[in-house]
Amino acid sequence: MQRKGFSFFNFKLPQVPPDDRGKSLTQLIKEESQRWKEHMKKKKEDGSSALPAKYFYRGLMLFQFPSQMYVVLYYIIPYFFVDEWTRYYFGVLCWFLGINGIANWLCVMLYDPSFPVSRDKPSIPVQKTWDNPPDRFNPLIQESVQQNGCAVYDMSGKDGLLWQYCNKCQIHIPPRAHHCKFCKRCILKRDHHCVKVGNCIGFNNQRYFIMLTFYAMIVGCLGGFLTFMYLKDVYWVKEAKSWTDLIPPVAIFRTIFGNTNLHNCFLVIHVYIEPLFGLFGMFYFTTQMSLVMEGKTMYEVTKKRPVISSNTINRNIKSVFGDFWALNFFFPMTIIFKQRDDGIHWKGLKYDHNANKKLEGDIV
Ligand SMILES: [Zn+2]
Ligand SMILES: [Zn+2]
């Protein structure tokens, strides 16, 4: 076949496919939007819709950590603190917060929260059904039948938490483990899938996730406040010419053309990102800590699973953070202090048999 070189005169407009000939423009737009909707629905179902968020937040962290350390150490600390010792100790504190934040972030991403497929599974009864369950449990049983092909919410056992079968992974999974459509595997004690870190939060990495949100809260709130004060006192007075200079693309444009310094550009971008980190951190840290203290997971709360824990608050916290749990606030340390549970057996936890009656206001 003879190859034709590109010629301007050979250029043709795209042809209308034969099927679409004779259709009106509104009809074509309608069909195209329908195709787009189906495409997006499929992406949501197979979990690939979460991918862009994962890479966006990873890029954001890789930008934020070095740039924030740079402006804090070289501009913000020298501006706010005159005393040499105060500068030194504040610098140490900033390194401590930054390194802890990054270390916990890496741990959340790198620890595998899934239930290993290759592990020898005990033979357990998974196909029992519960005779005459209270109404409240009917949706749970139906959902289980639809998802797993069998009803496993058998309350006749002592603790009421039984193994299930995952149709997608084709393995038996322990109580509180659930399949994640984004990770495409079963997650031990699944809490939720975090699109920002791009991993599921479960038994193996929840402690790091909570610490990450703790550091994000402190770094975001403290950093946001100091950045705002610096911009107000220095940038606004000396360099900015109008309010538009506080818009990140304008600041980047001015930096490229030499109108302002690189650190000012970083600070203008940070003043938007840091409060966002602070608010996200605060929201997740408070909700996660209250769930951990109650001994529940976000999955169970959002799906209205009536799980109740008879363990003490201290025991519930140790289940997630291990012994000497307060030390987690200083460094991530699975190797030294292991968690109390194994992610498979749940002592002191059961389904609430009276959940149905409590809903109706009866005291049982
Ligand atoms: Zn699965
Ligand atoms: Zn997941």
Q: Tens digits of per-residue pLDDT, 99-135?
A: 999 999 999 999 888 887 755 554 444 445 555 666 6
Residues that are catalytic = 194
- 256 belongs to a structural domain: yes
- 252 belongs to a structural domain: yes
Q: Looking at 100-141, which runs of residues are DSSP E strands?
A: none
Amino acid at 137: F
Residue 363 above 60 pLDDT? no
- 95 belongs to a structural domain: yes
Report whether 146 contacts 139 (CB < 8 A): no
Q: How far is the CA of 340 from the centre of ligand 2 (A)?
A: 23
What's the rounded Cα separation, in Å, for the pair 99 and 104?
8
- 363 belongs to a structural domain: no
In angstroms, what CA-CA distances link 162 with 6, 150, 165, 345?
67, 12, 10, 10
Number of domains within the chain: 1
- 108 belongs to a structural domain: yes
Q: How far is the CA of 120 from the centre of ligand 2 (A)?
A: 23
Q: How far is the CA of 220 from the centre of ligand 2 (A)?
A: 26
Domain membership of residue 265 as a residue range: 48-113+208-290
What's the rounded Cα separation, in Å, for the pair 121 and 289?
32
Q: How far is the CA of 148 from the centre of ligand 1 (A)?
A: 10
Provide φ and ψ at 187, rounded to 5°. Answer: -110, 130
3-state secondary structure of 179: strand
Ligand positioned closest to the Cα atom of 116: 1
Q: How far is the CA of 287 from the centre of ligand 1 (A)?
A: 26
- 295 belongs to a structural domain: no
- 76 belongs to a structural domain: yes
- 59 belongs to a structural domain: yes
Ligand positioned closest to the Cα atom of 181: 2
Ligand positioned closest to the Cα atom of 180: 2
Q: Is 149 left (phi over 0), alpha (psi -120 to 50) or beta?
A: left
What pLDDT digit, counting tens, does each position of 128-163 carry? 555 566 666 667 667 666 665 555 554 444 555 667
The answer, as to whether pTM is greater than 0.85, is: no
Q: Which residues pair with 309 in a beta bridge?
A: 349
